Amino acid sequence: MKFLIENKEKYTVVTLKGEKLDATISPDVKAVFVEQVPANSRNLIFDLSESRYCDSSGLSAILVGNRLCSEANGLFVLAGVPEHTQKLIKISQLDSVFTSLPTVEEAVDSIFMAEVEKELGAE
């Protein structure tokens, strides 16, 4: 299994089950994002805590997830990003684009806060 997908009421957690987010798996990551965002939740947490490596095609897949959630008026959060991937994100100047938090639990809290803010803004 390449991914563990957990659908919750307000969000979906996609956990990458592997050490590499590269050209061999990035098309599958994009497909999961395209499938999950409209079908299950506008809010997505991409858990990278089990990965060790990411290349430009992996960043491209992450950008797709971010765009899909944004278009759905949701939130895309990276969780457990390894140091190598954090450096790549910073070098690529995407650190201001992505929301990245140390743990899935913190990502869940962030999504719930965003949902509360949207509900209060709608009133």
pLDDT tens-digit map of 53-62? 999 999 999 9
As a whole-number percent, the residues of the chain with pLDDT over 90 amount to: 85
12: helix, strand or coil = strand
pLDDT for 123 beyond 70: no
Per-residue model confidence (pLDDT) at position 56? 93
Are 83 and 102 in contact by the 8 Å Cβ rule? The answer is no
The better pLDDT of the pair 49, 119 is held by 49
Q: Comparing C-alpha atoms, which of 56, 45, 48, 46 is closest to residue 19?
A: 48
Query: Rounded to two decimals, what is the model's pTM?
Result: 0.93
Q: What is the average pLDDT score of the chain?
A: 93
Q: Which long-range contacts (CB under 8 A, 24 or more apart) does 4-10 make?
A: 5/32, 5/36, 7/36, 7/40, 7/41, 8/41, 10/41, 10/43, 10/111, 10/112, 10/115
Per-residue model confidence as pLDDT tens digits over 3-32: 999 999 899 999 999 999 999 999 999 999
DSSP state of 22: S
Cα gap 55→84, rounded to integer Å: 10
Q: Which CATH architecture has domain 3-122?
A: 2-Layer Sandwich (3.30)
